[in-house]
Structure 1
Amino acid sequence: MAYESGADWQYDVPTTGSTHLPPDAGYGRALTNQGYGFEVAVADLIDNSIDAGADQVVVHFLRDASRILTLLVIDNGKGMDEAGLNAAMTVGHRRDYGERALGMYGTGLKAASLSHASSLTVVSRTRQTRAAGRRVTAEGIEDSFRCDTVDPRYAQDLVDRYDGIIEWQGTIVRWDGVRAFETVGRGQSDQFLSKAIARLETHLGLYLHRYLQRGLHLDIAVWDVSSGQRGLGEEVDHIAVEALDPFGYKLPGKPGYPREFTAPVEGLGDVRLTAHVWPAKSKQAGFRQIGSLTARQGFYFYRNDRLVQAGGWNGLRNAESHLVLARVAVDLPPGENSVLSLDVKKENVTVTPAFTLGVEKAADSAGRIFHTYLADAEAAYRDGSRRTEIVRRPVTPPGKGLDPKIKRVIKEELPEKPGEEPISFIWGPLPPNQFFRLDRERNTVVLNKAYREDFNDGRRGGANDAPVTKTLLYLLLEDCFGLGRWERGRQDRMDYWNTILLASVDAQRTRRAQAVS
């Protein structure tokens, strides 16, 4: 054929027409199998909230006495009208995200949600429009990408339930039929939620740490619908997610760091590498509590201040134990490029050899090369390894009912016993002569709810109230859990501690009465 002869045959393929081929309904199955982890999927939803200008976001688990029912993400962003909801629910809908947006491909909301839930509902309102909603299901996508319109009365009722967050505008994303929830056996909900929330808190605290440090309020809450309360009541278990800064050390492990290196990368130009050396044996949460130290060494890529890769050398070298103190922050350039590409889940960055070659040539303002930094990080590790360290006794970790900030400090200061269920604190009915009781089967400290207001300045308080009292009890009682035989001496301690604490309640009440009079 004539068009296959000659030197230019490989550059141009002739066509005789075209036709539009919409996605087959079977694409829905591919959409729901993108490999999203649970924490990664929830983080993708929060990215949308941040893009909508939200400064308050709540991840809300709904449960009853025996089951975990559903999950919602509520924000106070600018919201969407009917047209915006239709666009948001359109698979692959592309819009102008802008250079500072966290969204990229137009599939995150649907792919992240339907990877874990059989039904995705989005309800939203703007300052100019009433509450409206859309729902897509796995079955609906297979039925020619059908999208259902939510009853406006339900949409308004759902918005009203969260009026403490959504005042004039905002969005609620709801997952139903969450597959992970449906596999939880009866009586296992507390254990599942405790572990799931801990992983979620760590992931969000790490990957969104720059936004949290700038004032984003991000909470994780659990509400038992059988309590009869509406929305977020006082008794809701509540965690305020704190930033987990992977570069948040107080003093560097090597003087002169952090240090800026410039890497000449073909196709990108100069790329700035901010090289850090952590202090050896640091117990800070940003070092110890974000995963394996070996896996967390290396590059930390950010896109518009959102962490998109936490560790790894991307082919520059292998992870090695003597480089666990080395972490390098890299801000991805705005816009797409052919050197650094981000996967759809915003979890990993793929680099071409041009990047690693550029890093090999990187130098700081004084002419020191990047390999000097790696040698400094290794030397800091070896110097730290030679220091003797006092080994502290492992403890049963603190759990529900204790303020997250306190739990984080305890984890930084004390090693945890492996495989132990966390110690929880609850307020419950007890005889007047008991301030607390140990439920050793459930690893729970039960506090007498008759005395609750005395430790909350006359108020009811929330799930994480009375932090000083609970922390002191944790330190006193931690070694009473996980034992075999219950010794008489331990019971005697319980008895006189109860007596002394009841005297403190009486003293507290006397002081309050005198202050009022």
Structure 2
Amino acid sequence: MSQDFSASWQYEVPTAGSRHLPPDAGYAKALTNQGYGFEVAVADLIDNSIDAGADKVVVHFLRDTERILSLLIVDNGHGMDDSALDAAMTVGHRRDYDDRALGMYGTGLKAASLSHADSLTVVSRTKRSRAAGRRLTAEGIADDFRCDTVDPSYAQDLVDCYDGIIEWQGTVVRWDLVRAFRTVTPGQSDQYLSRAISQLETHLGLYLHRFLSRGLALDIAVWDVSSGEGMLGEELDHIAVEALDPFGYKVPGRAQYPKKYTAPIEGVGDVQLTAHIWPAKSRQAGFRQIGSLNERQGFYFYRNDRLVQAGGWNNLRTPEGHLALARIEVDLPSHPNPVFSLDVKKEGVTVTPSFTAGVERAVDAAGHSFPAYLADAEAAYRDGAKRSEIVRKPVTAPGKGIDPKIKRVITEELPQKPGEDPIAFSWAPLPADRFFELNRDANTVLLNKSFREDFNDGRRGGANDAPVTKTLLYLLLEDCFGLGRWERGRQDRIDYWNTILLASVRTQRERRERGMD
């Protein structure tokens, strides 16, 4: 006999019991194939550090002379004890998040890590517990969702290596058997790391810029474990990530901007939009160095101060060149709602049609409409296109050895030659009559190591030391790279620059020894 559903279709479907269905082993493959980009995965782990109250985070690459070995993310957050580690490493475990947390789904640590590495280790300590650790491997998950316990002595040794960060509490997340690292051929590690660190610095600087502006210390470091200096070796490079504000212009591109608009969104209520117009032809990093201008126009969504979408019109309109100066800041409601949904990787927001309908009806305090803002942004672009400007000669980009803050200013002020490796600076043993030499094959300026302490007040310098000297040499020597035939006149210039600089550094040394400086 057929059942009449016409009167009860809208009610809950009746059930007749339940079964426990454990995850299939194939779930492990799905977990490791979430489509996380490298920078997105690292940012997801740093979200966990911020949620743990960390104000210091280091992204740490370990390498030897030929290979990139491991990646570690170290923080000084409140840490985890044994039970918290078990929960964090349980596949499928979902914990509760408060309204201000950056975490959402409870899968980021495992999914982001195992998308790139076949082995994930987490070592942590709290103020009340000793260092402890757990390890997940792709093989162990595929077999029986096995989680290994890290030897306590190793856990303590690893924490001790980072005593400058983890003083009383903190966490180390370690990736081993990183699939991308294993594809790097011997001799190409420097080039790979240079590109990877540059992309990572840009992504973290952009998506975490509000936290960085408020004092989060986020560094990227490279250490050579083959040097024999301690458990982690010798530091080769160190970069302090700076905030890359997509609204960080000095002067707006149109008077009276930015403006705040109120959009009535059905299902959420009033949502505030802060509309910005960049100055035309800006060279600032927050405008030009975060991706193509067409991709970066439109909406910038934030969730709890964390950028989760950098540009895009979300079906309001299509990107086009005349709106390249238009960017709109939107802080998402902290509570769940039916209009905005964020993907698990936190790099895109999906909206319902009620959002675009509400934006089209948005007005500012004076009653000006959102379409009027778009018209102002387009007019600013057209006015800027009419203005002539001095065209500066492109240069080869500065590279390793120059402080990132200086590199950013150089790239803001000077256009870059496409397709050329950056000019790096390195201290090396050189003859006593040479202050510097050029390795044009490797695009590197070699500085005489015997003078290094003279530029660091007698202390051991870091990877980005002697910033004034390196910057001046970069400006002098940039046009000596990327050439075909090496002219005698250029060599003569290199020779007399060496002679003059040697006299300068020796004079500086003599003055310091006499106590005159």
Q: For this structure pair, what is the TM-score category when the shorter chain's length is used for normalisation? A: over 0.9
Q: Deviations over 1:20-75 (max 9, x none)?
A: 21211211111111110000000000000000000000000000000000100000
- In the superposition, relative to structure 1, how do residues 516 and 504 fare at CA in structure 2: closer, same or farther (>3 Å)? closer
Partner of 2:78: 78
**Which position in structure 1 is the counterpart of 2:7?**
7
> In the TM superposition, what is the alpha-carbon distance from 1:457 to its structure 2 partner?
1.4
**CA 1:4–1:153 in structure 2 vs 1: closer, same or farther (change >3 Å)?**
farther
Assess if the C-alpha contact under 8 Å between 1:392 and 1:414 holds in 2.
yes
TM-score (norm 2): 0.98
1:472-483 equivalent positions in 2, closer than 5 A? 472-483=472-483
Structure 1: tracts of 5 or more residues without a match: none
SS of the residue 1:302 aligns to: strand
Whether contact under 8 Å (1:234, 1:463) holds in the other structure is: no
Aligned 8 A contact 1:234 1:461 in 2 = no
Contact 1:162 1:231 in 2 (8 A): no
| Secondary structure in structure 2 of the residue aligned to 1:294 | helix
Per-residue CA deviations over 1:403-447 (Å, capped at 9, x if unaligned) read 110000010011111110111101110111000000111111000
What is the aligned partner in structure 1 of residue 304 from structure 2?
304
Tell me how large the CA RMSD over aligned residues is.
1.2
Deviations 1:204-231 (A, max 9, x none): 0000000000000000000011111236
Query: Given that residues 394 and 416 in structure 1 are in contact (C-alpha distance below 8 angstroms), is that contact kept between their aligned partners in structure 2?
Result: yes
Deviation of 1:270 after TM superposition, in Å, equals 0.2
- Rounded to whole Å, the distance in 2 between the matches of 1:445 and 1:30 is 46
Check the 8 A contact 1:44/1:108 in 2, yes or no. yes
Name the structure 1 match of 2:314: 314
Q: Secondary structure at the match of 2:281?
A: coil
Please give the secondary structure, in 1, of the residue aligned with 2:379. helix
Whether 2:122 is the aligned partner of 1:122: answer yes
User: How do 1:98-497 and structure 2 match up within 5 A?
Assistant: 98-230=98-230, 235-497=235-497
Give the SS at the match of 2:295. Answer: coil
Conserved? CA contact 2:438–2:445, under 8 Å = yes
Q: How far is 1:234 from its partner?
A: 7.0
Distance of 1:12 and 1:455 partners within structure 2:
75
Kindly provide the amino acid, as one letter, of the partner of residue 394 in structure 1: P
Gaps of 5+ in 2: none
Q: Using the alignment, how far apart are the partners of 1:231 and 1:322 within structure 2?
A: 55
Distance 2:5 2:396 in 1: 76
Q: TM-score, normalised by structure 1?
A: 0.98
Aligned equivalents of 1:173 and 1:4: distance in 2?
A: 57
Give 2:54's aligned residue.
Answer: 54
Which amino acid in structure 1 is aligned with residue 315 of structure 2?
Answer: G
Give, as a single letter, the amino acid of the residue that structure 2 aligns with 1:297: Q
AA aligned to 2:418 is P
What is the distance in 2 between the residues matched to 1:220 and 1:354? 41
Q: Secondary structure at the match of 2:35?
A: coil
- Cα distance in 2 for partners of 1:86, 1:177 equals 22
- Structure 2 letter corresponding to 1:143: D
Q: 2:19 matched to which residue of 1?
A: 19
Q: 2:75, 2:6 → 1: CA distance?
A: 61
Amino acid at match of 1:342: L
Q: Report the Cα offset of residue 390 of structure 1.
A: 1.1
Q: CA deviation at 1:140?
A: 1.1
What percent identity do the matched residue pairs reach? 78
Deviations 1:371-409 (A, max 9, x none): 000000000000000010111111111100001100000
Q: Secondary structure at the match of 1:99?
A: coil
Does the CA-based 8 Å contact 1:301-1:331 persist in structure 2? yes
One-letter amino acid of the counterpart of residue 419, structure 1: G
Q: Once the two structures are superposed, what CA deviation does each residue of 1:155-187 show, in whole Å capped at 9, x if it has no partner?
A: 011111111111110000000011110000110
Opposite residue 312 of structure 2, the aligned amino acid is G
Mapped partners of 1:36, 1:4: distance in 2: 48
Kindly tell me the number of residue pairs found equivalent between the two proteins: 517
Q: Work out the CA distance in 2 between the residues paired with 1:45 and 1:497.
A: 47
Is the CA contact 1:234–1:462 (under 8 Å) kept in the aligned structure 2? Answer: no
User: Structure 2: how far apart are the matches of 1:347 and 1:3?
Assistant: 47
Three-state SS of the structure 1 residue aligned to 2:475 is helix
